Amino acid sequence: MTLSQRTILIIVSTFIALSFILGVSSDIILLESFAAFERVVVVENIQKVRNEIEESYDELRADSHEFGSILSAQGYSSLTKLPEATLKSHHVDLVICFSRDKKVMASLVAGGDALKRSVETERVFTQLGEIVPLAQKTPGDPLSGLIVLGDKPLQLVLSPLPDKGLLLMVGRYLDRDEINRITALTEFVLDLVPVSDERTTPDVSAALAAVSRGDVNPVQVVNPDTVVGYALFKDVFDRPAFFVKITEERLLYKQGKASVMYVLSSLFIAGCVFCCVMLFFIRGTILNRLAVLTQKVSHITSQGDIPARLPVSDHQDELNRLAVSINGMLDSLENAEKDLRESGERYRMLFDRAPDAIIVIGLEGDEAGRIVAANNAAADQHGYTVDELLSLSIYDLNTAETNKIAGDIIATVLTGEWTTAEIWHQKKDGTQFPIEIHAGLMKSGGKKYILGFDRDITQRKITEETNQLRLEQIRQLNNELSRKAIDLAAANNELETFNYSVSHDMRGPLTRISGYCQLLLDDDSNLGPDAREYVTRIYEAETWLNDMIDALLHLARVTRVEIDSGSVSLSAIAEEALKELALEYPDRSVKTFVEPDIVVAGDSRLLKMVMINLLNNAWKYSSGKSDAQIEFGVEQTGSGPVYFIRDNGAGFDMKDAGKLFRVFTRLHDSSQFTGTGIGLATVQRIIFRHGGRIWAEAEPGTGATFFFTLP
C-alpha cells in the first residue's frame, strides 16, 4: 500500500470512526433523553387517569349521602321499594344496607329479582359483608375503596346510618362503560387488567415487579411504535386488584429520532466535504512530490542506476532535504561500488594468473560437489579447458582411492579448519598424478564453498628423498600458497568490511533526518497539526530504518563469530528468559512450562540468542490471549532429540512458512506486533552454524510451534 493510499485510508477511517462515535453517542444520549421525556409524559397521563378514577369516589359519597337521607326518612325497608331507575339516575349499580354483624338488611341491585335469586348474588353479598368490619374501625367516617367481584372491580362507599345503627354501601362497577367515560374525559386509550395468579400476563408481571421496586407508575416500551403506562389500584384490603393500562403512540420519540438523523446527516455531509478538501490539499502539497521521489528511487533500485540522482527543488523543506540526503548516499554507494569493482578486478587477476591450481567446490544444493570456479593453472594441470572443468565435479578429477577419503577431507573442512593432504588426481587422458591440496571453508553470498589450492607433486615425489633442497623449495612454495590463501581470506574480510561501511555510511543521512525532525517537533510555532503528524511519521521511519541497520550489523556479527562449543543448559536459559519477561510485563498473566535438565553441546552465547528470540516471539504473539501459554520441551525421534517452543498466540498460515526466516520478512502487520524481521533470520543462521535445522508449524489463531535440532 502506497503512502497516498495509507493517508486516504487514515483520513477516511478517522471520519468513519468519528461518525460512528457520534451516531452511538447521539443514540445513547439524545434518544435516551427523548425516551426519558416520553416516560415522564406517559407518567403524567397515567396520573391524570388515576386522579379521574379517584375523583369518581366523590360522586359515590354524594350518592351515599342522598340514599342515606332517604333511608333515614322512610326506613331501610323502603330501599327495596325504590325503582331500579333510581340506580341508573345516580349512576350506581348497587345499594345495600348491612347490620353491624354483616347481615344484609335491604338491597337494591341493578338487574332486579333475577340477581337476587342467583346463588352468585348470595356469594357476592357475603364477600361484600367482609368489608363491614373495616368500616367499624373508623366509626363516623365513610369507607371508600374497591373490591374485585369475580373479574369485575367494584367501586364502593360504606357509610354509617347512626340513627338506624346500620351501614349503607353504595357501589359502582368499573366496567367498560365507565372506562369509556374516563377515556372520553382524558382522551387516552385505557384498558383494565385484573391482577390474579391465574391470569397474570408477562407485561403485568413486569409491571408488578416495577411497583414492588418503588415505581408507582411503571412505563414499558412495547415496540418501536407503542409505549404503555400502568397504574396499580388496590382493594379495600390493600391487595393488588387491577392495573389501568394506558397505550400511546411514541410520537415524541419518533420526532426526536428524526431530528437526530437530520443532524447526523448534516454532520456527515460536512465531514465528507472536509475530507475531500483535506485529501486534495495533502495530495497537492506532499503526496505528489513524495510519489515522484518514490518513483525515482524505485527506478534507481530496479535498474541499478546508481549514477542517477533525485531531482532537487527550490523548496527548503523536509522532502527536499531528504532528496539531498539520498543523493549523498548514492554518491557514497557509487564510490563504494567503484572501489569494490576495482578490488574484484584485482582479485580476479590474482585468481586467473596464480601459478598454482585453484579450485572452488560447492557444498550446498545443486552445487554440492561441483566445481564452480577454477583458474587457468588448474585447467592446464588436468588437461582440460576452464569451461570443461566447470562442467565436472571434484569426484570426476579424483581417483577411486581418493574418492574413498574425500568425505573425511570435506568433513574436516566443514569444521572451519584449513586442511592439507596428499591425494591423487587423474587428467583428461586418464593419467594419474599426485597432488598436494590445501583446502578450507569459504563463504560467499550466504553459501559455503571449499577453496582448494592444488599443486602437482609428481616431481617432488620422485626427488623428495634424494634432494632436500628441492623439498625446501616446495615447502617455501607451500608457504607462499598459504600467504595467498590468507590474502584471499583478507579479501573476503574486506568484502565484509565493505558491508559494514555501507551500513555505517547510511547512519549519517539518517542522523541528519532525525535531527531535523526533532528540531521541527521542538518548535511549537511553525508547525500545524497536520505537518507535525507528517514530521512525526518521518522521524518514526528514520528510527525504524536505524533499527534495521543495527539488526543487519548484529546479523553480520552472528554470522562471523567463532563458535566456542561447550555444555549448555537450555532449560536454565528458558527459565531465566521467562522470568525477565514476567518482570518486564507484570500486567500479563502467562502460564509457562519448561522441561527441566535439557542440556546440549554448543556455543552458550549463540544458543542463548536462539532461546531469547524464540521465547520473546512466543511472548509477543500470545499477547492477545487472556489465557496465554508458553512451553519449552524436547521430543525424542528416530533421528535424535527435537527441541520445541510452543505458544497459543496469533499463529500464522502455513502457506507463508517459507518466508519465516527471510531477513526483514514479517507475517503480521507491524501495527499489531512490533519487530525488525531479523530475529528469526538470526536464529536460523545460529542453528545452521551448529549443524542443525529449524522449522515451524502453526495455525492462525491457535498458536505456533518452533522446532530445532542440534547435533
- Counted residue by residue, the chain has a size of 711
Rounded CA-CA distance 517/217 in Å is: 65
Note whether residue 403 is domain-resident.
yes
Does the structure show a pLDDT above 80 at 25?
Answer: no
Rounded CA-CA distance 225/249 in Å is: 6
Q: Per the structure, how many domains does the chain have?
A: 3
- pLDDT bucket at 701, cuts 50 / 70 / 90: confident
Note whether residue 675 is domain-resident.
yes
Note whether residue 380 is domain-resident.
yes
Q: How many CB atoms within 10 Å of residue 35? A: 18
Rounded CA-CA distance 373/585 in Å is: 54
Best mean pLDDT range from 178-187, 323-332, 599-608, 656-665 = 599-608
Q: What CATH code is carried by the domain that includes residue 691?
A: 3.30.565.10
596-615 residue pLDDT tens: 989 998 888 888 888 888 88
Say if residue 454 is in the same domain as residue 569.
Answer: no
Q: What is the pLDDT of residue 663?
A: 64
Quick check: 592 and 629 in contact, CB under 8 A?
yes
299-322 residue pLDDT tens: 777 777 777 777 777 666 777 777
Rounded CA-CA distance 662/639 in Å is: 27
Helix (H) or strand (E) segment spanning residue 348: helix 318-353
Buried b (16+ CB within 10 A) or exposed e, 67-101: bbebbeeeebeebeebeeebbeebebbbbbbbeee
Does the structure show a pLDDT above 70 at 552?
Answer: no
Rounded CA-CA distance 683/609 in Å is: 7
What the block records as the C-alpha cell of 148 is 374485585
Q: pLDDT: is 500 or 428 the higher one?
A: 428
Does the structure show a pLDDT above 60 at 492?
Answer: no
Does the structure show a pLDDT above 70 at 567?
Answer: yes
What the block records as the C-alpha cell of 360 is 572452488
The arithmetic mean of pLDDT across residues 68-78, rounded, is: 79
Quick check: 548 and 566 in contact, CB under 8 A?
no
Does the structure show a pLDDT above 70 at 502?
Answer: no
- Phi then psi for residue 106, to 5 deg, are -160, 155
Q: Residue 704: which of 650, 658, 666, 661 has the closest Cα? A: 650
Domain termination site, one of 197, 218, 251: 251
Q: What is the pLDDT of residue 643?
A: 93
Sheet holding 694-699, edge to edge: 591-594, 629-637, 640-647, 703-708, 694-699
Which residues touch 322 (CB under 8 Å, ≥6 apart)?
293, 513, 538
Helix (H) or strand (E) segment spanning residue 593: strand 591-594
Rounded CA-CA distance 578/629 in Å is: 12
The arithmetic mean of pLDDT across residues 700-704, rounded, is: 86
Which residues touch 690 (CB under 8 Å, ≥6 apart)?
563, 602, 603, 606, 607, 710, 711
Say if residue 366 is in the same domain as residue 243.
Answer: no
Say if residue 188 is in the same domain as residue 78.
Answer: yes
Task: Give the per-residue SS3 of 49-89.
Answer: HHHHHHHHHHHHHHHHHHHHHHHHHHCHHHHHHCCCHHHHH
- pLDDT bucket at 119, cuts 50 / 70 / 90: very low
Domain termination site, one of 190, 218, 251: 251
Note whether residue 307 is domain-resident.
no
Exposure of 428 in the CB half-sphere (CA atoms within 13 A): 12
Note whether residue 173 is domain-resident.
yes
Does the structure show a pLDDT above 90 at 586?
Answer: no
Does the structure show a pLDDT above 70 at 405?
Answer: yes
Does the structure show a pLDDT above 90 at 632?
Answer: yes
Say if residue 455 is in the same domain as residue 574.
Answer: no
Say if residue 156 is in the same domain as residue 21.
Answer: yes
Give the domain range for residue 75.
3-8+11-251
Q: What residues does 159 pair with on adjacent strands? A: 168
Say if residue 577 is in the same domain as residue 431.
Answer: no
Q: Residue 561: which of 512, 600, 604 has the closest Cα? A: 604
Output the CA torsion 491→496→500→505 (10° steps). Answer: 50
Best mean pLDDT range from 32-36, 81-85, 413-417 = 413-417
- pLDDT bucket at 113, cuts 50 / 70 / 90: very low
Q: Residue 703: which of 609, 639, 623 has the closest Cα? A: 623
Q: Residue 454: which of 382, 378, 390, 360 has the closest Cα? A: 378
- Entry pTM: 0.36
- pLDDT bucket at 2, cuts 50 / 70 / 90: low
- Plot region of 597 (φ>0 → left; ψ -120 to 50 → alpha; else → beta): left
User: SS3 for 443?
Assistant: strand
Q: How many CB atoms within 10 Å of residue 668? A: 14
166-221 residue pLDDT tens: 888 888 888 777 777 777 776 777 777 777 655 567 777 888 888 888 877 888 78
**∠ CA(89), CA(188), CA(198), 5° rounding?**
85
Rounded CA-CA distance 436/356 in Å is: 11
Give the Å distances, CA to CA, from 480 to 161, 345, 435, 476.
Answer: 145, 21, 16, 6
Say if residue 151 is in the same domain as residue 24.
Answer: yes
Give the CA radius of gyration of the chain: 50
Quick check: 632 and 615 in contact, CB under 8 A?
yes
What the block records as the C-alpha cell of 147 is 373490591
Q: Residue 707: which of 653, 634, 652 has the closest Cα? A: 634
Q: What CATH code is carried by the domain that includes residue 135?
A: 3.30.450.20
Q: pLDDT: is 154 or 323 the higher one?
A: 154
Best mean pLDDT range from 43-57, 218-232, 635-649 = 635-649
Q: What is the pLDDT of residue 708?
A: 92
Domain termination site, one of 405, 428, 463: 463
The arithmetic mean of pLDDT across residues 38-53, rounded, is: 80
Does the structure show a pLDDT above 60 at 670?
Answer: no
Helix (H) or strand (E) segment spanning residue 542: helix 529-560
Helix (H) or strand (E) segment spanning residue 321: helix 318-353
Q: What is the pLDDT of residue 242?
A: 80
138-168 residue pLDDT tens: 666 788 888 888 778 888 888 888 777 788 8
Q: What is the pLDDT of residue 644?
A: 93
What the block records as the C-alpha cell of 7 is 493517508
What percent of the chain is predicted at pLDDT more than 70? Answer: 79
Mean pLDDT rounded to a whole number for the chain:
78
The arithmetic mean of pLDDT across residues 453-478, rounded, is: 76
Q: pLDDT: is 116 or 172 the higher one?
A: 172
What distance lies between CA 600 and its chain's CA centroid? 38
Which residues touch 668 (CB under 8 Å, ≥6 apart)?
621, 650, 652
Q: Which range (76-80, 153-157, 405-409) has the least confidence?
A: 76-80
What percent of the chain is predicted at pLDDT more than 90? Answer: 4
Does the structure show a pLDDT above 70 at 227?
Answer: yes
Q: What is the pLDDT of residue 633?
A: 92
What the block records as the C-alpha cell of 515 is 535531527
Note whether residue 278 is domain-resident.
no
Rounded CA-CA distance 430/702 in Å is: 63
What the block records as the C-alpha cell of 206 is 413486569
Q: What is the pLDDT of residue 510?
A: 66
Q: What is the pLDDT of residue 88?
A: 83
Quick check: 67 and 87 in contact, CB under 8 A?
no
Which residues touch 395 (CB under 8 Å, ≥6 apart)?
369, 403, 406
- pLDDT bucket at 631, cuts 50 / 70 / 90: very high
The arithmetic mean of pLDDT across residues 418-438, rounded, is: 88
- At position 138, the amino acid (one-letter code) is T
Note whether residue 511 is domain-resident.
no
Note whether residue 619 is domain-resident.
yes
Does the structure show a pLDDT above 60 at 488?
Answer: no
